[in-house]
């Protein structure tokens, strides 16, 4: 159940718009922030607020890649696999093996792509080019970009995120 | 009119025509998937590519997206175009399961046709196929997404055309998935059209799955018998069983679609308890013997009590041939006036509608879509004539406004204006509205010309809020150029149908291209009016039976006990008859009471029937299959018994009109070979509108048989406001979609939540009475109590209660069609009491 | 070389403030225009300047504005497109992070020129920090009377709001973006014209933010000045070139439009990384053809590139070194395009995965000889899709087959990728 305060806030936002559907993504983002992901319940509540059918909102929710319809960790590590970052992944490992940041992270965190760590903190997902090509290879975590990534830097980031996980404003 | 050359042939087309349609005029069928006449051109599939060799456009372009212009030179079979189309097919077939042998669509599949004609035969793609999980969309529509070629037709029809929002396109790219958010029954009452529209086997007809291939079926052009719109259907019969119905494109009537009731309501035709053997006092007999016996006994009653003691009661579901035969029989034998309605008031209203429907006023579904303002009074489109709702929606999509004056909680797939006044105020509200559409000076002039029509005491009985809303509607009417008035005949006051037509005439005289669209109680209500215009002079049949004036009743394709508001009373009257003869194909409750039962064929059996729809259009429901017990039933599921007979088992049936003609012959006692007019000639003599459509004693189908001559109207006085008094509620009985229509009730579409018995009240009324939405209530009537679930709506009339009884007859203990109740009649029930 | 126009206020770690922008001449253009320039005059100014859209299509901005009829109904909308999802492209992000007010002033001017009421900035999810920058500056501007009712005491009202996207490359296409804002499933829609019926069915102008950022400068200094900034006679203005990949100094460089590609890579971006050789590059993001060494002297302008069969696109220069397998690179690009295809039309939705499959089999050394003509044919078929997405997706492969067919053949001959284990 969405808390009353959040519900009222969202209703206000919707009322202020000329057309309520304009706020569909904003409402989904807010509800997603509350539940950690856009659950079935969250989808139904969002649809009711917007005056859309659940299917209509599901059409949008499943179309977009930053709306998570499955549970994700507190930090979603969107590792860019755009062509520039890919180029750098390829150069990244000198072992000649098929290595990339994604495989490195998955090994480090003990998860597969799309899975969440047991402590509920990290999910590793690919992402289309995030627009930080001069800092390739890069990744996006909860709206913040990090790069150029090295194994050491990655470990640093993970530690930092672990420390900050209560304070970091989750703003996607 | 642009003129262009396609494949070296010239064609001239109206401005705005797309090249793909221009080609069709030449008989050239350019391959396509996403293009559909009703859904428009969107350019998604890229299948209709042709080469533009010369003119304002050059190169490979999509023919559905390109407007035909002067000087265009087009080649549909240019090698580049063929190569491209072949490649598009290859792409579409990349992920296709190639499961034609087990797919119901095989043999009637646009993808198959396009694949073969597109020259794609060998599969060179060696990669994996994208697969989906299917959904359970309910009992009527199958779902197999692996066959999808993403033509987008289903979403465009379901959401854009029909206005329902529980099916759509989820995901993105080649993973795009067409379905519901969760498994569950499709909510649209037009969902079955997905089956016709889908060019592959994603959506298939579930009830008829695996029954056969298209070439196995005997197919004929039929017409839907479930309401007065008369949509065109395609009948598929195999082994003496109706397998399925499809929508049949009829541009003048229903366009490309039909509703689900029309598509799936044919279960009555194959009903295992359908009467197939004549019965005399309960014992089986052959049909000829029974006919003889019927003639004998009818003659006896006539002789003993007078000809007027015999009455015939038909229905709106009869074919025109049978209606004519029945009317003639009554006429020739001097029997009581032929009747097609048990309720004389209903007959009067339908006759008023029939009489006032002049050719310039009549609107078809297609014409209604072009209206710019639609005012509907006393009609519940989705319940009474679902395709009407779809036609209204298309008008709305083109910018029209729809306004409805009705007390019921109407659910419609488009935005509309509402005035929820009680039925007793229609007669006042409508003229007031029309009058308000004119300026003050004009109004005074009109008052002089139409004193009876317009001068009603200043909107008497209407509340301020109601008058404000009527004013708004009036403004829309004033601005409109093509207004349409949709008028019901079910829950309306006596004078409304005639009044509505008068108002439309007034609007036309004042320069508007106005029309009227009547919704009548059955498929062939117009036919009944044409065959027996003198019905209303006959008086109340039920009372005549009760008084003992009528001692014998010949019920032809009629089950008066179904849907009559006071069943006990009617049962008593029927029991008091000396003779009850029933001719029917339904295993009805009235048939069970008959002394003599003569089984008849239905419209899906040879030769079929003729029907006249709400706009007076004569249509033919043709059938090829001779009657007989379906092989399925005859064989008990296994091989049919190896018994030889000269006649078809269960086939000792004759059409109703043939039987009635035989009765006429048996009863006439004359041996003289007086040349007898055939049914059409007889009809043409009485109905000048029919005379034009009949040539050489045979009808010409597709035309309107207007005007219809029906006897003098009972003089309706000045419209009077009859609001519901404070503390009272007017109880209406809702004809909810599937279970309340007679024919489809025999094998109803599997029940949905709307079929549960419910009572509707305005939410304020409910809370004032201390009742809980969704909670159990008791409706206390003189004849007993009804346990119901309470539903509330904010859009219905506050002094109206709507009963939707679902299946079953327990509700039939009301004193009338519209009943005035004390508010105290609705009481809270304890849970567990239902 | 170089007058810096758009990046003149660039700082290492933060955007320029409103005051800093004003100190460098910001909002003077707006003041001038509001004091006595007719909307039509402003449109003419932009038309005369030769400014071409910087979002990828290169459509002349003034011409686009002139399509919106004077008598067209109100309200009207301006949509500054900050979706920038073309792989390799990051210039808009840099621009917002450097000097957001340039864009805002340009947007208000565009609003004035088209007598619009409101702008809706459409911004992608990975630019959340930049979105917050915008929102912060809007509040400031409202306080200063530069946004809202009666801007700078004139009769002109204008408001700007931000619309956050939830992802997907196709939202960068104008008509798809409109659907996204309207809360509908995004897809390109060729029915009707944006300037007649766009956002909510109203007249709408969609412009890239770099395009809008040029407008205040054009107004302040004149169209002639803007034209003369170019390095070619047909060009106009400076251009933001985003250089990335195997170069020493990947970054966003503002240079006269028409600067030679060789200069951009080897002078400004510091040349190839130590010990690496140039092999190929994309000239304008992922939807452009791979360009080989022999074309390095081409001038990076719309016309010059078109002359050799290439595109300027978003001017995102992605540089590959001799270790890069171009088949693999194309496979990466096709994977991106396959994932991002909206799914509306057949060639894109089904044809791109088909191409990807073929590239994959080449990369794995499993393909037959005939895959080359088949791939080539497919790239041509893509030109008949519904929108420009599919032809763009095919472009790198077109370049691969045109200039690097040998590399493809080597895969087939060897039965594996020759660059594995390098």
State whether A58 and B171 contact (CB < 8 Å): no
Q: Number of residue pairs across B and C with CB atoms under 8 Å? A: 78
CA dist C292 and C127 (Å) reads: 32
**What number of residues does chain A have?**
172
pLDDT score of C12:
85
Q: Do both C157 and C247 map to the same domain?
A: no
Which residue bears the tokens 């004359």? B670
What is the DSSP secondary structure assignment for residue B571, as one 8-state letter? H
Per-residue confidence (pLDDT) for residue A165, from 0 to 100: 80
Residue B49 parent element (H or E): strand B49-54
B508 shares its domain with B540: no
Q: Which of C259, C208, C203, C231 is nearest to C91 (CA)?
A: C208
Alpha helices in B669-769 (DSSP H): 679-686, 688-693, 763-768
Rg of chain B (C-alpha set): 28
Query: Does residue B384 sit in the same domain as residue B420?
Result: yes
Any C CB within 8 A of B150 CB: yes
pLDDT on residue B734: 81
Pairing, β B728-733 against β B698-699: unpaired
Q: Rounded CA gap, B429 and B445, in Å?
A: 20
Residue B60 has pLDDT above 80, yes or no: yes
Domain boundary among the residues C271, C289, C321 is at C321
Q: Is A70 on the interface with B (CB under 8 A)?
A: no
3 state DSSP class of B412: coil
How many residues does the structure list for chain B? 834
Angstrom distance (rounded) from CA B362 to CA B229: 13
pLDDT single digits (tens) C224-263: 999 999 999 999 999 999 999 999 999 999 999 999 999 9
Q: Which residues on neighbouring strands pair with residue C243, listed in sequence order?
A: C251, C317
Q: Do B169 and C347 touch (CB under 8 A)?
A: no
Strand order in the sheet with C77-82: C159-164, C118-123, C77-82, C204-208
Q: What are phi and psi of B811, to 5 degrees?
A: -80, -15
Which helix (H) or strand (E) covers residue B666, if one does?
Answer: helix B656-668
Contact criterion met (CB < 8 Å) for B172 and A62: yes
| Structural domain contains residue C286 | yes
Residues C249 and C165 in one domain: no
**Nearest in space to C283 (alpha carbons), one of C208, C248, C308:** C308
What confidence tens digit (pLDDT) does each residue in B256-313 have?
999 999 999 999 999 999 999 999 999 999 999 999 999 999 999 999 999 999 999 9
Contacts of C80 (CB under 8 A, 6+ apart): C103, C106, C107, C119, C121, C122, C207, C208, C209, C212
pLDDT at B716: 59
Question: Same domain for B249 and B313?
Answer: no
B764 and B737 housed in the same domain:
yes
Query: Which tokens go with C200?
Result: 């909510």
Each residue's pLDDT expressed in tens, for chain A with a length of 172 residues:
999 999 999 999 999 999 999 999 999 999 999 999 999 999 999 999 999 999 999 999 999 999 999 999 999 999 999 999 998 876 554 444 556 788 889 989 999 999 999 999 999 999 999 999 999 999 999 999 998 998 899 999 999 999 888 665 554 4
Find out whether B574 and B553 touch, Cβ atoms under 8 Å.
yes
| Burial letters B629-648, b for 16+ CB under 10 A, else e | bbebbbeeeeeeeeeeeeee
CB within 8 Å of chain B, chain C residues 225-244: none
User: Do C298 and C352 belong together in one domain?
Assistant: no
Q: Which residue has the tokens 């339904």?
A: B586
Report the chain C residue with the minimal C-alpha distance to residue A127: C336
The neighbour count for residue A153, using CB atoms within 10 Å, is: 12
For helices C371-381 and C352-363, angle between their N-to-C axes, nearest 10 degrees: 150
The reply to whether C247 and C374 lie within a common domain is: no
Q: Evaluate whether residue C376 is within a structural domain.
A: yes
CA–CA–CA angle A86, A89, A93 (5° rounding): 155
HSE-CB at B121 with a 13 A cutoff on CA atoms is 3
C85, A90: Cβ pair inside 8 Å? no
**Residue B372 sits in the same domain as residue B266:** no
Compute φ and ψ for B729, nearest 5 degrees.
-135, 140
* Token pair listed for B136: 């359970």
Q: Which DSSP state fits C351?
A: I
Do C401 and C271 share a domain, yes or no?
no
Q: What is the DSSP letter of B362?
A: B
Residue of chain A whose Cα is closest to the Cα of B166? A55
Q: How many domains does chain C have?
A: 3
Q: Does residue C13 lie in a domain region?
A: no
DSSP 8-state secondary structure symbol assigned to residue C30: H
Residue C351 forms part of a structural domain:
yes
Residues A136 and A87: beta-carbon distance below 8 Å: yes
Residues of A in contact with C338 (CB under 8 A): none
CB-CB under 8 Å, B45 with C346 = yes
Distance CA C49, CA C29 (A): 15
Which residues from chain B sit within 8 angstroms of residue A54, using beta carbons?
Answer: 166, 181-182
Q: Are residues C261 and C162 in the same domain?
A: no
| Whether pLDDT at B672 is above 90 | no
Report chain C residues whose CB lies below 8 A from the CB of B152. Answer: 344
Q: Residue B447 has what DSSP assignment?
A: H
Query: For B426, left (φ over 0), alpha (ψ -120 to 50), or beta?
Result: alpha
A108-144 burial string, b = 16+ CB within 10 Å, else e? ebebeeebbbeeebbbbbbbbbbbbbbbbbbbbbbbb
- B18, B46, B52, best to mutate vs chain C, most C CBs in 10 Å: B46
Looking at the fold, whether B571 and B427 belong to one and the same domain comes out as no
Chain C interface includes B92 (CB < 8 A): yes
Domain-ending residue, one of C278, C295, C321: C321
- Taking an 8 Å cut-off on Cβ atoms, the answer to whether B95 and C340 are in contact is no
In B705-798, DSSP assigns E strands to 728-733, 758-762, 776-781, 784-793
What would you measure as the largest C-alpha separation in chain A, in angstroms? 58
Domain range enclosing B161: 125-270
Nearest chain C CA: its distance from B149 CA (Å) = 8
Instruction: Express each pLDDT in C350-385 by its tens digit.
Output: 999 999 999 999 999 899 899 999 999 999 999 999
pLDDT, position B454: 65
Report yes or no: C167 at the A interface, CB cutoff 8 Å: yes
The least confident of B12-21, B92-101, B121-130, B458-467 is B458-467
In a domain, B704, yes or no: no
B438 contacts B432 by C-beta, under 8 angstroms:
no
Rg (CA), chain C: 22
In a domain, C8, yes or no: no
Q: Which of C168, C360, C378 sits opposite B172 (nearest CB)?
A: C168
A19 touches chain B (CB under 8 A): no
Residue C91 lies inside a defined structural domain of this protein: yes
The model's confidence at residue B805, banded by pLDDT at 50, 70 and 90, is confident
B 170-209 residues inside an 8 A Cβ radius of C: 171-176
What sign results for the dihedral spanned by CA atoms B275, B281, B286, B290? negative
C330 and C312 both lie in a single domain: no
In a domain, B199, yes or no: yes
- State which of B472, B498, B518 marks the end of a domain: B518
Burial group, residue B692, by CB count within 10 angstroms (0-12, 13-18, 19+): middle
Q: Mind telling me how many Å the CA of A48 is from chain B's nearest CA?
A: 13
Distance CA B290, CA B279 (A): 7
Question: CA C126, CA C130: separation in Å to the nearest integer?
Answer: 9
CATH code assigned at B426: 3.40.228.10
Flag whether pLDDT at B807 surpasses 60.
yes
Which of C85, C129, C182 has the CB atom closest to A21's CB atom?
C182
- Count of A-B CB contacts under 8 Å: 29
Closest CA to B88 of C361, A136, A87, C347: C347
Do B505 and B550 reside in the same domain of the chain?
no
Q: Answer whether B525's CB lies under 8 Å from B350's CB.
A: yes
Q: Which of B215, B237, B270 is the last residue of a domain?
A: B270
Interface residue C418 vs chain A (CB under 8 A): no
Asked if C150 is an interface residue toward chain A (Cβ–Cβ < 8 A), one would say no
Check CB contact of A56 with chain B, cutoff 8 Å: yes
Query: Looking at the structure, do residues B499 and B534 belong to the same domain, yes or no?
Result: no
Asked if residue C243 and residue C207 are part of one domain, the reply reads no
The verdict on C147 and C49 lying in the same domain is yes
In chain B, which among 47-76 make CB contacts under 8 A with chain A? none
* Residues of chain C numbered 109-148 and touching chain A (CB < 8 Å): 124-129
Both B498 and B420 in a single domain?
A: yes
C300 in helix, strand or coil?
coil
- The conformation of residue A21, written as its DSSP 8-state character, comes to G
Query: Which CATH number is B190's domain given?
Result: 2.20.25.90
Residue B725, by phi and psi: left (phi above 0), alpha (psi -120 to 50) or beta? beta
pLDDT of residue B644: 87
Task: Say if the Cβ atoms of B170 and A58 lie within 8 Å.
Answer: yes
Helix locations, A17-170, DSSP H: 24-35, 40-50, 54-63, 83-92, 101-109, 151-164
Rounded-to-integer distance, Cα C226 and Cα B428, Å = 72
- Report the mean per-residue pLDDT for chain B: 92
Q: DSSP secondary-structure letter at C86?
A: S
Up-side HSE of residue B227: CA atoms within 13 Å toward CB? 30
Percent of chain B with pLDDT over 70: 95
Please state the domain count of chain B.
Answer: 5
C63 lies in the same domain as C190: yes
Residue-number span of the structural domain to which C268 is assigned: 238-321
Query: Which chains have 3+ CB pairs within 8 A of C?
Result: A, B
**CATH code of the domain containing C195:** 3.40.50.11540
Residue A95's pLDDT is 43
What separation, in Å, do the N-terminal and C-terminal C-alpha atoms of chain A show?
21
Distance of alpha carbon B19 from alpha carbon B344, whole angstroms: 55
Q: Given A56, A62, A63, which is nearest B165 (Cβ)?
A: A56
* Residue C5 domain-assigned (yes or no): no
Domain presence at residue B608: no
Instruction: Tell me the per-residue pLDDT of B747-756, one tens digit each, with 9 for 90 and over.
Output: 766 666 666 7
Query: Cα–Cα distance between B54 and B56 in angstroms, integer?
Result: 7
Q: Check CB contact under 8 Å for A82 and C339.
A: no
Instruction: For residue A25, give the nearest of C87, C89, C164 by CB distance.
Output: C164
Residue B696: CB partners within 8 Å, gap ≥ 6?
Answer: none
Q: For chain C, what is the mean pLDDT?
A: 95
Count how many pairs of residues, chain A against chain C, have C-beta atoms within 8 Å: 144
- Indicate whether C207 pLDDT > 70: yes
In a domain, B232, yes or no: yes
Cα–Cα distance measured from residue B144 to residue B343, given in angstroms and rounded to the nearest whole number? 48
CATH number at residue C374: 1.20.1440.230
For residue B596, give the CATH number of its domain: 3.40.50.740
Q: What is the pLDDT of residues B209-225, one digit of tens each?
A: 999 999 999 999 999 99
Residue A16: which residues within 8 A CB-CB, separation 6 or more? none
B159 Cα to chain C: minimum distance (Å): 12
- Judge if C181 and C275 occupy the same domain: no
Classify burial at A99, counting beta carbons within 10 Å of its beta carbon; exposed 0-12, middle 13-18, buried 19 or more: middle
Q: Last residue of a domain, which of B462, B496, B518?
A: B518
Instruction: Give the CATH number, domain containing residue B811.
Output: 2.40.40.20
Instruction: Give how far the C-alpha of residue B332 lies from the chain's centroid of Cα atoms, to the nearest Å.
Output: 33
Closest Cα in chain C to B153: C344
CA atoms B42, B45, B50, B51: torsion sign: positive
Do B142 and A34 touch, CB atoms closer than 8 A?
A: no
| Chain A residues lying within 8 Å of B415, measured CB to CB | none
CATH code, domain carrying C245: 3.10.20.600
CA gap C199, C205 in Å, rounded: 9
Alpha-carbon distance B314 to B591, whole Å? 13
**A50 contact residues in B (CB cutoff 8 A):** none
CB-based contact A32:A61 (threshold 8 Å): no
- Residues of chain B with C-beta less than 8 angstroms from the C-beta of C381: 84, 87
Q: At what angle do helices C100-113 and C91-98 cross, to 10 degrees?
A: 100
* pTM across the whole model: 0.95
**Residues C120 and C27 reside in one and the same domain:** yes
Chain A 83-102, residues with CB within 8 Å of chain B CB atoms = none
Q: Which two tokens stand for residue B238?
A: 């195999």
Q: Please identify, among C321, C344, C371, the residue that sits at the C-terminal boundary of a domain.
A: C321
Contacts A52 to B, Cβ<8 Å: 165
Question: Is B18 strand, coil or helix?
Answer: strand
Residues of A in contact with B171 (CB under 8 A): 62-63
Shared domain check, B509 and B367: yes
Q: Give the closest-approach CA distance of C232 to chain A in angstroms.
A: 27
Rounded CA-CA distance B483/B401 in Å is: 10
Tell whether B539 and B687 lie within a shared domain: yes
C6: which 2 tokens?
């758009």
Residue in chain B closest to C378 (alpha carbons) equals B87
C381 interfacial to chain B (CB closer than 8 Å) = yes
Judged by CB atoms closer than 8 Å, whether chains meet at B172 and C340 is answered as: yes
């Amino acid at each position: 159940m969405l808390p009353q305060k959040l519900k009222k806030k969202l209703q206000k936002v919707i009322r202020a718009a000329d057309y309520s559907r304009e706020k569909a993504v904003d409402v989904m983002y807010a509800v997603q922030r509350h539940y950690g992901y856009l659950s079935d319940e969250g989808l139904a509540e969002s649809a009711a607020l917007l005056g859309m059918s659940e299917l209509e909102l599901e059409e949008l929710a499943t179309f977009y890649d930053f709306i998570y319809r499955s549970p994700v960790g507190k930090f979603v590590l969107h590792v860019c696999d755009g062509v520039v970052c890919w180029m750098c992944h390829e150069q990244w490992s000198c072992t000649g093996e098929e290595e990339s940041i994604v495989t490195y992270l998955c090994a480090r965190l003990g998860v597969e792509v799309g899975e969440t760590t047991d402590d509920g903190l990290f999910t590793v997902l690919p992402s289309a080019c995030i627009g930080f090509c001069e800092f390739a290879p890069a990744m996006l975590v909860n709206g913040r970009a990090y790069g150029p990534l090295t194994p050491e830097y990655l470990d640093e980031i993970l530690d930092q995120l672990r420390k900050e996980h209560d304070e970091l404003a989750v703003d996607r | 009119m642009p003129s262009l050359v396609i494949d070296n042939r010239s064609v001239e087309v109206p401005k705005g025509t797309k090249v793909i349609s221009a080609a069709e005029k030449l008989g050239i069928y350019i391959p396509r998937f996403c293009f559909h006449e009703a859904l428009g051109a969107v350019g998604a599939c890229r299948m209709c590519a042709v080469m533009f060799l010369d003119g304002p456009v050059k190169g490979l372009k999509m023919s559905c997206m390109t407007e035909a212009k002067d000087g265009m030179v087009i080649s549909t079979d240019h090698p580049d175009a063929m190569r491209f189309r072949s490649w598009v097919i290859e792409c579409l077939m990349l992920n296709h399961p190639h499961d034609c042998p087990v797919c119901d669509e095989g043999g009637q599949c646009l993808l198959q046709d396009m694949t073969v004609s597109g020259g794609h035969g060998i599969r060179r793609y060696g990669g994996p196929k994208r697969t989906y999980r299917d959904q359970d969309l309910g009992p009527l529509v199958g779902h197999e997404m692996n066959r999808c070629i993403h033509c987008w037709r289903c979403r465009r029809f379901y959401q854009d055309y029909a206005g329902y929002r529980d099916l759509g396109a989820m995901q993105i790219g080649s993973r795009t998935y067409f379905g519901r958010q969760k498994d569950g029954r499709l909510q649209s009452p037009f969902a079955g059209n997905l089956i016709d529209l889908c060019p592959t086997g994603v959506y298939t007809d579930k009830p008829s799955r695996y029954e056969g291939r298209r070439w196995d079926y005997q197919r004929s052009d039929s017409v839907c018998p479930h309401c007065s719109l008369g949509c065109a259907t395609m009948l598929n019969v195999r082994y003496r069983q109706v397998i399925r119905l499809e929508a049949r494109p009829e541009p003048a009537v229903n366009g490309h679609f039909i509703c689900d009731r029309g598509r799936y309501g044919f279960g009555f035709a194959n009903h295992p308890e359908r009467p197939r053997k004549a019965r005399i006092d309960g014992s089986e007999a052959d049909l000829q013997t029974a006919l003889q016996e019927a003639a004998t006994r009818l003659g006896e009653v006539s002789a003993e009590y007078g000809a007027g003691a015999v009455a015939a009661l038909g229905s709106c579901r009869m074919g025109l041939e049978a209606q004519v035969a029945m009317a003639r029989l009554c006429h020739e034998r001097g029997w009581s006036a032929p009747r097609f309605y048990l309720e004389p008031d209903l007959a009067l209203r339908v006759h008023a509608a029939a009489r006032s429907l002049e050719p310039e006023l009549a609107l078809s579904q297609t014409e209604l879509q072009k209206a710019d303002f639609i005012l509907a009074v006393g009609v519940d489109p989705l319940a009474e004539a679902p395709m009407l709702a779809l036609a209204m929606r298309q008008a709305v999509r083109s910018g029209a406004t729809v306004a409805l004056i009705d007390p019921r909680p109407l659910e419609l797939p488009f935005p509309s204006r509402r005035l929820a006044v009680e039925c007793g105020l229609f007669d006042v509200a409508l003229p007031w509205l029309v009058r308000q559409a004119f300026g003050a000076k004009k109004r005074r002039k009109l008052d002089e010309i139409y004193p009876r029509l317009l001068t009603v005491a200043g909107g008497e009985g209407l509340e301020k809020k109601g008058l404000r809303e009527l004013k708004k509607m009036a403004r829309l009417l004033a601005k409109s150029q093509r207004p349409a008035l949709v008028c019901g005949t079910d829950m309306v006051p006596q004078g409304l149908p005639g009044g509505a037509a008068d108002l439309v005439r007034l609007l036309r005289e004042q320069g508007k291209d106005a029309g009227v669209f009547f919704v009548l109680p059955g498929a062939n209500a117009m036919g009944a009016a044409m065959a027996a215009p003198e019905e209303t002079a006959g008086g109340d049949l039920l009372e005549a039976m009760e008084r003992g004036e009528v001692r014998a009743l010949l019920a032809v394709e009629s089950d008066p006990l179904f849907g009559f508001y006071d069943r006990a009373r009617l049962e008593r009257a029927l029991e008091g008859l000396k003779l009850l003869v029933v001719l029917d194909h339904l295993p009805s409750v009235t048939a069970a009471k008959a002394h003599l039962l003569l089984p008849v064929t239905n419209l899906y059996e040879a030769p079929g029937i003729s029907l006249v729809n709400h706009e007076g259009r004569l249509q033919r429901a043709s059938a090829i299959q001779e009657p007989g017990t379906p092989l399925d039933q005859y064989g008990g599921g296994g091989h049919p018994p190896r018994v030889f007979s000269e006649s078809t088992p269960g086939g000792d049936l004759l059409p109703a009109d043939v039987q009635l003609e035989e009765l006429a012959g048996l009863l006439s006692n004359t041996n003289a070979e007086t040349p007898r007019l055939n049914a059409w000639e007889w009809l043409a003599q009485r109905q000048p509108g029919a005379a034009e459509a009949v040539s050489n004693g045979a009808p010409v189908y597709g035309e309107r048989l207007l005007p219809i001559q029906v006897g003098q109207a009972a003089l309706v006085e000045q419209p009077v406001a009859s609001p519901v008094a404070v503390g009272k509620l007017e109880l209406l009985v809702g004809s909810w979609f599937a279970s309340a229509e007679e024919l489809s009730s025999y094998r109803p579409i599997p029940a949905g939540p709307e079929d549960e018995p419910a009572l509707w009240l305005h939410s304020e009324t409910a809370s004032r009475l201390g009742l809980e939405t969704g909670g159990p209530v008791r409706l206390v009537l003189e004849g007993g109590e009804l346990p119901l679930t309470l539903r509330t709506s904010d859009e219905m009339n506050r002094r109206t209660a709507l009963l939707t009884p679902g299946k079953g007859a327990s509700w039939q203990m009301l004193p009338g069609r519209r009943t005035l109740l004390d508010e105290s009649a609705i009481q809270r029930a304890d849970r567990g009491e239902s | 070389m170089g007058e810096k126009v758009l990046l003149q206020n660039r700082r290492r770690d933060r955007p320029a403030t409103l005051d800093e922008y004003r100190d460098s001449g910001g909002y003077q253009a707006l003041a001038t225009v509001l004091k006595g320039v007719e909307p039509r005059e402003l449109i003419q100014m932009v038309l005369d300047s030769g400014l071409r859209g910087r979002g990828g299509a290169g459509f002349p901005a003034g011409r686009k504005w002139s399509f919106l009829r004077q008598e067209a109904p109100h309200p009207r909308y301006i949509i500054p497109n900050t979706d920038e999802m073309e792989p390799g492209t990051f210039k808009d992000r840099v621009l917002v992070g450097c000097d957001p007010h340039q864009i805002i002033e340009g947007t208000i001017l565009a609003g004035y020129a088209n007598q619009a009421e409101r702008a809706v900035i459409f911004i992608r999810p990975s630019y959340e920090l930049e979105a917050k920058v915008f929102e912060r500056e809007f509040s400031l501007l409202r306080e200063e009377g530069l946004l809202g009712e009666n801007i700078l005491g004139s009769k002109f009202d204008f408001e700007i709001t931000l619309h956050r996207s939830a992802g997907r490359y196709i939202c960068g296409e104008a008509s798809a973006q409109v659907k996204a804002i309207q809360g509908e499933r995004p897809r390109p829609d060729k029915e009707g014209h944006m300037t007649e019926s766009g956002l909510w069915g109203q007249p709408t102008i969609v412009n890239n933010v770099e395009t809008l950022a040029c407008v205040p400068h054009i107004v302040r200094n004149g169209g002639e000045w803007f034209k003369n900034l170019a390095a070619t006679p047909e060009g106009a203005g400076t251009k933001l070139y985003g250089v990335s990949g195997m170069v020493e100094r990947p970054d966003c460089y503002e240079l006269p439009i028409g600067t030679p590609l060789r200069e951009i890579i080897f002078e400004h971006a510091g040349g190839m990384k130590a010990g690496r050789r140039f092999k190929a590059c994309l000239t304008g993001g992922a939807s452009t053809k791979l360009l080989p060494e022999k074309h390095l002297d081409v001038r990076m302008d719309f016309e010059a590139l078109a002359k050799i069969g290439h595109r300027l696109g978003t001017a995102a220069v992605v540089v590959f070194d001799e270790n890069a397998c171009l088949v693999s690179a194309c496979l990466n690009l096709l994977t991106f395009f396959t994932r991002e295809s909206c799914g509306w039309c057949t060639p894109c939705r089904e044809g791109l995965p088909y191409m990807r499959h073929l590239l994959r089999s080449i990369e794995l050394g499993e393909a037959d000889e005939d895959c080359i003509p088949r791939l080539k044919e497919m790239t041509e078929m893509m030109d008949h899709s519904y929108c420009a997405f599919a032809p763009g997706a095919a472009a790198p492969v077109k370049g691969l087959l045109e200039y690097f067919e040998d590399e493809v053949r080597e895969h087939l001959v060897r039965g594996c990728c020759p660059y594995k284990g390098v």
